[in-house]
Structure 1
Amino acid sequence: MHCDSICISVDDDHIDGTFAVPRTGVPGILFLHGWTGSQQSDLKRAREIATLGCVCLTFDLRGHAATEAMRMQVTPRQNLHDAVAAYDALANHPMVDKSAMAIVGSSYGAYLATILTSFRPVRWLSLRVPALYRDEHWVLAKGQLDRMDLTSYRNSEISPEENRALAACARFQGDVLAVESEFDDLVPHTTIANYVAAFRQAHSLTYRVIAGADHALSEKAARDAYSALLVGWIREMVLGAR
């Protein structure tokens, strides 16, 4: 909402008035799904958030859904290109306010989301169980990475100076939601702690743990808890700023 002053002629005099004018655009929210996932996992939440007055975009990263055949060859760099292209498509939607962009990422998608903030303006960033990868993995086939090496890396204390995703977090100045699953067997607490500690300049940081949840939110109760948390945060942060 913004205000425009107006001078209104009346008889041989004038009076002052003020137009309270809604912004021409609405918030745009981009969803980034996790590895081996698809946009189907985000559609229900996207539809719910759209009812709040947002334009939401879900999409399938290369190596998933219709392009699953290339999964063992696609690299994180290629998937970042997917994310940038999707962001641009959302930002160019005629209803979207380009200054009110949010990203909602899960796992691998959350990792990509943090890096995307280095290339495009993002005001709100939601990260559910954000995964972490070595910088040297950037141009390697994601589906062929050593799982034991990843587990070891994610259980290590890592600073923003040592990782491109954490470095992006350290530069981010918007609002952040970080969500951990209590019984996550893929993204340990140490990884979440590395992310949370990296947000040195964030305007606000909300950190929550979903009790009893695994990485994939296999149980309906966990999925419902996450949905309620995300929608509540979007309502407070994104819509509250309008």
Structure 2
Amino acid sequence: METFASLRVDGQSVYGMLHLPNTPAPPQGHPSVLILHGFTGNRAGDHRLLPLLSRYLERLGLASLRIDFRGSGDSEGDFSEMTVSREVQDAEAAFEYLRQYPGIDPVRAMLLGFSMGGLVAALSAPRLNPHRLALWAPALPELWLPHLRGGFVPPVVTDYGGWPLGREFLLEMPKLRPLDAVRGWGGVARVFHGDQDTAVPPEIGVRYAAALGCDAVAIPGANHTFDSLEAVETLYRETARFLVGD
């Protein structure tokens, strides 16, 4: 069953889609996962990667919530206001919304982040303490630092391929420490990364895995957005195996 979700963060609406298994909930409720999209993305993801994941997990008895961060997709706010810290706020509010939803197990609530959503998930994990943390091709702040070349302070808004990228987003990047955040967390995690990813090199996924003290799963032949049917099948299978506890 799919249900439209809406929550408020700092006076703005965050919209999403909640997927609930069609089977009766166990006495403690269904396990669940909050899914966070990447930079300039939305809750659908590339080639429907995220809704199809939710439906895949739904058949296995896992609920999920996919949100559009403020300034992205259908949610309120302007992209020029977007920062990683604002997305962490959205993630924290959505995680609590999911944990408190009827029929959801508040203990077995998990977190999955893709690309910059992985960066957001990593920064959020110590505070939210998810039952499990899955990172798909997680990004690091250093990927955006070339936009601050020579210490140049960018204009109020930069035209980033048609996206109005705000200066606060770029100025915040050098201050973020996602690897430090997860290094002291100590929860159960796993990293999934395409071995042909050129947007976020696999070495970054390895660094996250080292900080988390967890396994890094290579998806053979996959690029950043897992653009093949075989890559998606492998990604879904390995992710589900982790989330259900195998």
TM-score (norm 1): 0.72
Q: Which amino acid aligns with 1:49?
A: L
Q: Where does residue 165 of structure 2 map in the other structure?
A: 143
**Cα distance in 2 between the residues matched to 1:144 and 1:217:** 28
Post-superposition CA distance 1:32-56 (Å, at most 9, x none): 1111221113111112212222221
User: Is 1:184–1:214's contact at 8 Å kept on the other side of the alignment?
Assistant: yes
Q: Quote the offset at 1:67 in angstroms.
A: 4.6
Which residue of structure 2 lines up, in the alignment, with residue 117 of structure 1? 125
1:176-210 CA deviation, whole Å, 9 max, x = no partner?
Answer: 1111111111211331222111114xxxx232111
Q: Quick one: distance in 2 between partners of 1:211 and 1:66?
A: 33
Q: 1:144 Cα deviation (Å)?
A: 5.4
Q: Take 2:206 and 2:90, find their aligned partners in 1: how far apart are those partners?
A: 27
Contact 1:101 1:121 in 2 (8 A): no
SS at match of 1:37: coil
Distance 1:229 1:173 in 2: 21
Q: Which amino acid aligns with 1:173?
A: G
Aligned to 2:141, the other structure's residue is in SS state: coil
- Which of residues 98, 109, 133 is equivalent to 1:101? 109
Please state if 1:58 is matched with 2:66. Answer: yes
* 1:207 has 2:238 as partner: no
Counterpart Cα distance in 2 of 1:163 and 1:72: 19
Please say if 1:40 is aligned against 2:44: yes
Q: 1:1-242 maps to which residues of 2 (within 5 A)? A: 23-41=27-45, 42-67=50-75, 70-133=78-141, 143=165, 164-200=177-213, 205-235=214-244, 237=245
Q: Is the 8 A contact 2:35 2:111 kept in 1?
A: yes
Residue aligning to 2:23: none
Tell me whether 64-73 or 220-229 shows the greater mean CA deviation: 64-73
Residue type of the alignment partner of 2:238: L
Q: Is the 8 A contact 1:28 1:101 kept in 2?
A: yes
CA contact (8 A) 2:110 2:133 kept: yes
Query: How big is the alpha-carbon RMSD for the aligned residues of Structure 1 and Structure 2?
Result: 2.6
CA distance in 2, matches of 1:227, 1:86: 22
Q: Secondary structure at the match of 2:165?
A: helix
Residue 224 of structure 1, CA deviation: 2.0
Output the amino acid matched with 1:222. A
**Paired residue total:** 194
- Could you say what secondary structure the match of 1:101 adopts? strand
AA of the residue aligned to 1:24: Q
Q: Which amino acid aligns with 1:174?
A: G
Contact 1:187 / 1:215 at 8 angstroms: preserved in 2? yes
Q: Find the counterpart in structure 2 of residue 3 from structure 1.
A: none
Residues 30 and 103, structure 1, Cα contact 8 Å, conserved in 2: yes
* TM-aligned CA deviation for residue 163 of structure 1: 5.3
Alignment check: 8 A CA contact 1:127 1:177 kept? yes
Unpaired runs of at least 5, structure 2:
1-25, 146-155, 158-163, 168-173
Q: Deviations over 1:52-90 (max 9, x none)?
A: 222211111122112587223311111111111111110
The share of aligned pairs that are identical, in percent, is 25
Which of the pair has more CA radius of gyration? 1
CA contact (8 A) 2:113 2:136 kept: yes
The separation in 2 between residues aligned to 1:166 and 1:23, in whole angstroms, is 36
- TM normalised by structure 2 equals 0.71
